[in-house]
Structure 1
Amino acid sequence: MDRKTPELRPAINEYFKDPTPSANLFDNISSHATTDAKREEPAVCRIFQQIEKKTDIFDIINPPPDSNSHNNNPGFEVREAPFLNTGNDSVDPMSIFIHEYELSFVPAEDERRRFAWIPSSKTKMTLEKASQMNHALPRDMLTMPGVENVNFANKTYEGLVSYLGEAEAAPFKTKTIEEVTQDERGLKMLIEDSNYSEALNLTTRLLAMYGQGPGQTGYPSKHTKHSLQLWLTRFSLLVKICACKIAVKEAMAWDNLDRPDLYMQWYKELYGNKYGTLVPFSLRLILAELPQYATTSTNIYKKLFEVLSGVRKIILNLENNLAEDGRCVDLTTQDRNTSKLLWYSREARVIHSIINCALNQKDYKLAIQLLKDLIENPRLKYTIDHSRSLLSAMGRICLQVGDLKGHSYFLKSSRLKPQLLGTLGENKADYRELIDAALLAIAQNNYKEAYKHFENAYIIDSNKVMALNNMATCLFYEGQLNNAISLLEDAIQRFPELALNESLLSNIHCFYQFQNSASNKQRLLKYHIISKYKNSVTDITN
């Protein structure tokens, strides 16, 4: 049951989405760490989560859509609850660029923990001689990035006016770069307004102030935590709008993020005697994921496994009573344990990213191997819901490759439910069981049974649009095209904020094409223009 939409994405990824606001799972294991552990590090992806109210359980970057690929079969959209309730639903997006998040009551320890990284032997030797080198590095040891000379245009509003009229299009008008302050505050406003193209144009202006603007690639410039956070924002936005070719090109200047000018030790005047990298961990991971989007990449996993290796070296140091970077530093037991939890969670985060990459490449053997290891050999003590999510994920991957033994993983997940709900809920199917049962029915081409399970999920779950979307898809495969269209049109009328998403609109697009009615073309164009507005994706209304 591959989901065939204009995206080149394995259908299994559609089974791991959450419409509710949730924190980044792997940097926020609040059930295992201190109550402040949820405030780990800023990441623009959290703004996306707060605005769009959805994220992947395998929460790293999804592959970009291919605007030239137009498939005509609707697909199932299955979202579920996040692994853990991190208690971070109320994170204020406005605080996203604040660097001094605290994990404990000692900010200096938090900074050491979050920005720790182990430099290579060559870089370490250079950093030890930094005071003698007077900030003079040979060119091959400098990081000299620059943005591409591209103006990102968003003509969505003009398109909406053309097809909907000014009055109906008015609510969809967004702020422009000239209507916000030319700083982080303005950048946050544009992102919160879903105007990612203009936000990218503003990152171009802001990075130019650091000597890293258009045409400045290959010229020396100074790096700070602030400039690196801007780059994280920019790369996140580039991936968000599927401009991955530009992202890959801009990433080349960063190499492996190990040059001396990316470490605090190189800037004594700014950071004193502090140790650590200037590179946010999220940026390190985004750059490691980019090769899978480049057609010329020969080893798409190389950088991801390098990051995983670096994380595991840090974990080994902590377990050997050393600091993260291997120095002999006296850490309190609580501080060491908190550091371990952070880096265990980051290890899981990287593994999930590799699993996503493997699924995108249809390397199911690797994905199953890594996920199985997470299930059987966890470093962290999972909550019941987290364990059930992992088991369901394994079952769904098995179904993706046509292996019906995935049903056994669903059963294992179901058996954990009584521990979560108590005896009162033991005999009543919950949301996860209903979705798992529906997927199993789909794998067996039993759309009528799947429809019943999605309908029951619709009754008990707040994400009504997802259930309605899947119910409509079941109706389509049952030959009830008009009923499927009516169901989705009704969903758009009743839940416009939730229904105007790429998955539902792609499905209704397919339904209209099969209906082949000239009267539907205007509606099709309207829905797709709004879809483009909502997601800032490339135009697919040809």
Structure 2
Amino acid sequence: MEPDSAPDPLRNQFASLNDLTYELASLQDLATRGSWRSILDKVARARSLNLLSKPHDHLTYLAYNVLALSKLRRFPEASSELNSLHDFNSHLYRYENYPDVYPNRSGSMLPFILRFLHAQIPIKIGNRLEGLDRFYSLLDFTRQRIKEKESKNLDVSVSLWRKREVFVMNCIIGHHLGAKEFIVCLDLISDLIRRDYLDPLLVSKLGYIRMQIGDVEGAKGSFNRVETMLNEGKSNGSLSEVEFKNLVSRNKALVYLVGKDYVSAVREYDACIERDLTDVIALNNKALCLMYLRDLSDSIKLLENALERLPTVALNETVVINLCSMYELAYVNHSEIKKTLSNWIARVAPDDFDLSCTRI
């Protein structure tokens, strides 16, 4: 929940997160555990008892409240909360408007997550064009902030805002991908790469999109570029060595998958899992390859073991959808088996998990 302003060196004086915002550590812990309903309760209590004393406290709690509502798919309520802010650029949300509370601080105290949710939520309630317009406005805003920070030689802030720029761009690309607007996606990613973003994930995404439009050779070229980056030790530091190696292996596996060489794809995924037992993408895709190889028993065991061993990592809708599809293919009494799975998920899943993916 970083504010828009630059990181404040005065923060080093604070002993804990709670010195920054009222019970912030508790909010962060609840968010980490996916306890979004508890966050709503905590925000409501803090507001009703007037426990929030400073302007930035109110904005931080509003950000967690909007995020929790969004996670719980209560998008109209989240939109209403956001609309209560009216103008994001209002002087009411700037530190310098409260010199007695924030001496020697300037800039916006609005958490960046609110700007993101302001763009995301319209898309969730069916206003795709409005949401995309807001995302492009957010991209412009982010790039303007980068220029401002660069002019002041604030390297730490520049790095933070560049990460936000890539994040916003990836959101935009994701929404265009969802609408199968592949050419727009290619242009956006190519623009980022031309501007010297040495990001293996970004170059890999370029390969995935090329694969989607049938440009297999172009995809291979992107994937080879990622492998060259690994071999030459070139990266923006976004991945560890193991993550980087697994990205390269998953890229190779995808090429094998498209060519229906499932045995070779399984070999690459096995290499990923050997390096990192928590690589859920590799686990999920290996299970799909086993299914294509008509080894339903082992594919089911693989996903079941992953869920049992790594519930906080492996429990996502994609894995559950694939496992339920395998149940439907393998068992006559798949409804009972899926009901057992659903009951287990209800006990261990975060509040925002969509149980409808079990298709019971």
TM-score by length of 2: 0.79
Instruction: Evaluate the alpha carbon distance shift between residue 208 and residue 398 of structure 1 in structure 2; reply closer, same or farther with a 3 A threshold.
Output: farther
Q: 1:368 aligns with which of 181, 186, 197?
A: 186
Please state how far the C-alpha of 1:464 moved relative to its aligned partner: 5.1
Instruction: Evaluate the alpha carbon distance shift between residue 280 and residue 186 of structure 1 in structure 2; reply closer, same or farther with a 3 A threshold.
Output: closer
8 Å contact from structure 2 (residues 204, 222) kept in 1: yes
User: 2:127: which partner in 1?
Assistant: 296
Paired with 1:438 and 1:417, the residues of 2 have a C-alpha distance of: 17
User: 1:314: which partner in 2?
Assistant: 145
Please state how far the C-alpha of 1:197 moved relative to its aligned partner: 1.5
Q: 2:213 aligns with which of 390, 397, 401?
A: 401
Q: 1:355 aligns with which of 155, 170, 173?
A: 173
Letter in 1 for 2:355: D
User: 1:463: which partner in 2?
Assistant: 278
Paired with 1:299 and 1:194, the residues of 2 have a C-alpha distance of: 28
Letter in 2 for 1:284: R
Paired with 1:435 and 1:512, the residues of 2 have a C-alpha distance of: 25
8 Å contact from structure 1 (residues 505, 531) kept in 2: no
Please state how far the C-alpha of 1:531 moved relative to its aligned partner: 2.9
8 Å contact from structure 1 (residues 210, 227) kept in 2: no
Instruction: Evaluate the alpha carbon distance shift between residue 99 and residue 477 of structure 1 in structure 2; reply closer, same or farther with a 3 A threshold.
Output: same
Instruction: Evaluate the alpha carbon distance shift between residue 188 and residue 339 of structure 1 in structure 2; reply closer, same or farther with a 3 A threshold.
Output: closer
Instruction: Evaluate the alpha carbon distance shift between residue 290 and residue 343 of structure 1 in structure 2; reply closer, same or farther with a 3 A threshold.
Output: same
Q: Does 227-236 or 196-205 show the bigger shift?
A: 196-205
Letter in 1 for 2:306: A
Letter in 1 for 2:56: K
User: 2:66: which partner in 1?
Assistant: 235
Letter in 1 for 2:82: A
Paired with 1:316 and 1:189, the residues of 2 have a C-alpha distance of: 34
Instruction: Say which SS state the counterpart of residue 292 (structure 1) adopts.
Output: helix
User: 1:120: which partner in 2?
Assistant: none
Please state how far the C-alpha of 1:230 moved relative to its aligned partner: 0.9
Please state how far the C-alpha of 1:485 moved relative to its aligned partner: 1.8
Q: Mind listing any 5+ residue stretches in structure 2 that lack a counterpart?
A: 235-243
User: 1:539: which partner in 2?
Assistant: 355
Q: Deviation string for 1:404-447 (max 9, x for gaps)? A: 121110111122222129xxxxxxx9422220011112223333
Paired with 1:259 and 1:498, the residues of 2 have a C-alpha distance of: 40
Letter in 1 for 2:141: G
Paired with 2:313 and 2:130, the residues of 1 have a C-alpha distance of: 38
User: 1:202: which partner in 2?
Assistant: 42
8 Å contact from structure 1 (residues 315, 344) kept in 2: yes
Letter in 1 for 2:228: R
User: 1:449: which partner in 2?
Assistant: 264
Letter in 2 for 1:399: M
Larger Rg: 1
Paired with 1:483 and 1:413, the residues of 2 have a C-alpha distance of: 31
Paired with 1:460 and 1:185, the residues of 2 have a C-alpha distance of: 33
Q: Does 444-453 or 409-418 show the bigger shift?
A: 444-453
8 Å contact from structure 2 (residues 33, 350) kept in 1: no
Paired with 2:33 and 2:159, the residues of 1 have a C-alpha distance of: 34
Q: 1:529 aligns with which of 340, 343, 346?
A: 343
Please state how far the C-alpha of 1:372 moved relative to its aligned partner: 1.1
Instruction: Evaluate the alpha carbon distance shift between residue 398 and residue 188 of structure 1 in structure 2; reply closer, same or farther with a 3 A threshold.
Output: same
Instruction: Say which SS state the counterpart of residue 276 (structure 1) adopts.
Output: coil
CA RMSD of aligned residues (A): 3.6
Bigger relative contact order (CA 8 A; separation at least 6) = 1
Instruction: Evaluate the alpha carbon distance shift between residue 251 and residue 469 of structure 1 in structure 2; reply closer, same or farther with a 3 A threshold.
Output: same
Paired with 1:183 and 1:485, the residues of 2 have a C-alpha distance of: 43
User: 1:503: which partner in 2?
Assistant: 318
User: 1:377: which partner in 2?
Assistant: 195
Instruction: Tell me the percent identity.
Output: 22
Paired with 1:417 and 1:297, the residues of 2 have a C-alpha distance of: 37
Q: Deviation string for 1:27-48 (max 9, x for gaps)? A: 9xxxxxxxxx8x99x9xxxxxx
Please state how far the C-alpha of 1:293 moved relative to its aligned partner: 1.2
Instruction: Say which SS state the counterpart of residue 129 (structure 2) adopts.
Output: coil
Paired with 1:527 and 1:436, the residues of 2 have a C-alpha distance of: 31
Paired with 1:502 and 1:209, the residues of 2 have a C-alpha distance of: 38
Paired with 1:393 and 1:466, the residues of 2 have a C-alpha distance of: 15
Q: Deviation string for 1:107-127 (max 9, x for gaps)? A: xxxxxxxxxxxxxxxxxxxxx
Q: Deviation string for 1:70-108 (max 9, x for gaps)? A: xxxxxxxxxxxxxxxxxxxxxxxx9556549xxxxxxxx
Q: How many residue pairs were aligned?
A: 340
Instruction: Evaluate the alpha carbon distance shift between residue 252 and residue 230 of structure 1 in structure 2; reply closer, same or farther with a 3 A threshold.
Output: same
Letter in 2 for 1:417: L
Paired with 1:503 and 1:283, the residues of 2 have a C-alpha distance of: 27
Letter in 2 for 1:414: E
Paired with 1:458 and 1:522, the residues of 2 have a C-alpha distance of: 30
User: 1:225: which partner in 2?
Assistant: 56
8 Å contact from structure 1 (residues 97, 229) kept in 2: no
Instruction: Evaluate the alpha carbon distance shift between residue 297 and residue 351 of structure 1 in structure 2; reply closer, same or farther with a 3 A threshold.
Output: closer
8 Å contact from structure 2 (residues 17, 23) kept in 1: no
Please state how far the C-alpha of 1:336 moved relative to its aligned partner: 3.4
Q: Does 438-447 or 229-238 show the bigger shift?
A: 438-447
Q: Mind listing any 5+ residue stretches in structure 1 that lack a counterpart?
A: 1-23, 28-36, 43-93, 101-181, 213-221, 324-334, 422-428
Larger relative helix fraction = 2
Q: 1:515 aligns with which of 330, 339, 354?
A: 330
8 Å contact from structure 2 (residues 119, 135) kept in 1: yes
Instruction: Say which SS state the counterpart of residue 46 (structure 2) adopts.
Output: helix
8 Å contact from structure 1 (residues 500, 530) kept in 2: no
Please state how far the C-alpha of 1:242 moved relative to its aligned partner: 3.0
User: 1:416: which partner in 2?
Assistant: 229
User: 1:152: which partner in 2?
Assistant: none
Letter in 1 for 2:31: I
Paired with 2:306 and 2:148, the residues of 1 have a C-alpha distance of: 53
Instruction: Evaluate the alpha carbon distance shift between residue 492 and residue 271 of structure 1 in structure 2; reply closer, same or farther with a 3 A threshold.
Output: closer
Instruction: Say which SS state the counterpart of residue 298 (structure 1) adopts.
Output: helix
Instruction: Say which SS state the counterpart of residue 131 (structure 2) adopts.
Output: coil
